[in-house]
Amino acid sequence: MSAPLGKSATRRTLQSSGRFTGSVTDLLQHMPDEDFVSGCLLLRDCARGDMPRIRKRLADDSELLNFKDYDRRTALHVSASEGHLNCVSMLLDLGANPNLSDRWGGSPLDDAQRHRHVAIAELLRKHGGRGGVNDLGAALIVAASSGNATLVAELIEDGANVNSIDYDRRTPIHLAASEGHPEVVRVLIERGGNVNCEDRWGGTPLDDAIRKGNTDCVAHLEKAGASSNKRLPSRRPSQLAPAAATSASSMEADWADVTVLEKIGAGAFGEIYKCRWRGTLIAAKTMLTHDSAHESAREEAMEDFRREINFLADLRHPNICMLLGYSTTEKHEMMLAELMKCSLLDVMKAFAGTPFSAERTARYAIQFAQGMTFLHTCKPPILHRDLKPANLLLDYSDTLKVSDFGLAKLRPPLNSTEVSQPYKMTGETGSYRFMAPEVYRHEDYALPVDVYSFAMIIYYMVAGEPPFADVDGERAVQLAAVEHARPTIPRSVDILLQELVRAAWDDNPAVRPSFTAILEQLNEYHLHEFKMTFEERMMQKKPTTQASSCACTLI
């Protein structure tokens, strides 16, 4: 029996008028009992795949199509999770929203992927379905920036923090004011948005609105008591501050103290030398002199160069390449670092298609995970974004160290428990073959992208060949990101390691393990495989490298 018209109208008014500002739990408390029962029965029918009953309930009350239970799960969530393709198809044809988020930020597509319902996942994508988000605040920031006032209201009602922040500590009100969306500004203010919050540079939403000439936004903000930060300079400083402003002065190096011994590497905008500095053999990465024909590209390389110094200056860990000094003096821009023997890629090429031994794989994997656990648990966490064998270096004792932080990003957490939440960053950053699917698809991404790259590198170790070795890098990432393919792990690999790799390269970033969890599992694997802990084995046996012919390399 359908719900009385008046009560359905009550639900529609609460959900869509924009006047209801509580959580979904509050919404359900205001919902008539008949409506709640009808919605729950619909979800039960979707779980069973009972097409006739689903059709009848929706014919009686079409408003049930996007009904949410107390976990914010819709009929589409339940049908996708249970693998009922026909039900999903019918709900989509009737206009069900494929991108509503449940209590945990999951979309119907996430449910389909988690339960390996490939056909359903593909159907959802054809209807515009996207992966959900772990942090509804990230989705709120995107909606505010794009001017979608309706979605902004829905996300706040679903539990998004109206004062969520992005990488530069900009809130939804900052972005809406800057982009000129007065209706979004109004909605955010009504929902409790802080009109005087400051971003990374001390700017308020009113500063953004004034600077961009968005007078309607200015009016809303001033009416709500917003103020401008008069101390701000007329122009914001570069996001990439010079390393000398943030690093200890003791790390500033003088080129006169460096004795060049031999050139050991080169790139498009830099060269690497084996040098002696203050009595110690080190490696020096130098920037090439100015070339007017490539000035723009060189400036980008210099930004990466300065960024890398900024990150490395404060990092001290046995599995992170150590920065010893730097100089940003014009024509003598250089970075001094410990001298390494070779890269992991050099070793992989030296093995010429032969998988690493179980001992070597475990040792490198644990050292790799130790370095990444350190980075991801920094405050704020550091996202590498370009993990690949060429950026993992080995010293003369065969210890693996993470290097090359030119693309790294600081991730300021919303709070101590939300270090893995996504936020907007540059798409297609890093190297294609080891790139996470969400990066290639230009979706929001966060710490789990490094976990995906880790999994692909471990696969390279155990398979003796790169992922999707028979195609080029761009085609490899297309297979992973668009066709959701993964390479086949050799059956000879221990099942514990197989399961870890599969979890780490899962298409859904939300279910990939953290590096803290990965390190724990690797230590368990080592104990199971070798009957001793990794530390015990390292004290018992000094490792030797088979890559004696590798060239020296720097970060």
Q: Which residue ranges make up the annotated binding site for ATP?
A: 285
SS3 content of the chain, % helix, strand, coil (to 5): 50, 10, 45
3-class SS string, 67-128? CCCCCCCCHHHHHHHHCCHHHHHHHHHCCCCCCCCCCCCCCHHHHHHHCCCHHHHHHHHHCC
Burial class (CB in 10 A: 0-12, 13-18, 19+), 400: buried
Is the backbone of residue 416 left (phi > 0), alpha (psi -120 to 50) or beta? alpha
Cis peptide before 413 (omega within 30 of 0): no
CA–CA dist 180, 178 (Å, integer): 6
CA 545 to chain centre: 34
Helices then strands, counting H and E runs in the chain, come out as: 24, 10
CB distance 409 to 167 below 8 Å: yes
CB distance 496 to 524 below 8 Å: yes
Residues 6+ apart with CB under 8 A from 523: 366, 533, 534
3-class SS string, 238-261? CCCCCHHHHCCHHHECCHHHEEEE
**474-478, long-range: CB < 8 A, 24+ apart:** 474/432, 476/432, 476/433, 477/432, 477/433, 477/435, 477/437, 477/440, 478/440
First CA to last CA across the chain, in angstroms? Answer: 69
| Alpha helix (H) residue ranges in 127-181 | 136-146, 149-157, 172-179
Q: Which of 149, 213, 139, 211 lies closest to 183, judged by CA? A: 149
CA–CA dist 453, 227 (Å, integer): 44
Secondary structure (3-state) at 278: coil
Which H/E stretch holds residue 234?
A: none
Which H/E stretch holds residue 187?
A: helix 182-190
Which H/E stretch holds residue 382?
A: strand 382-383
φ/ψ of 265, rounded to 5, equals: -175, 165
| Alpha helix (H) residue ranges in 403-546 | 437-440, 448-463, 473-481, 495-504, 515-530, 534-540
Orientation angle between helical segments 149-157 and 136-146, nearest 10 degrees: 160
Which H/E stretch holds residue 393?
A: strand 392-394
CA–CA dist 54, 69 (Å, integer): 16
Q: What amino acid positions are annotated as catalytic residues? A: 386
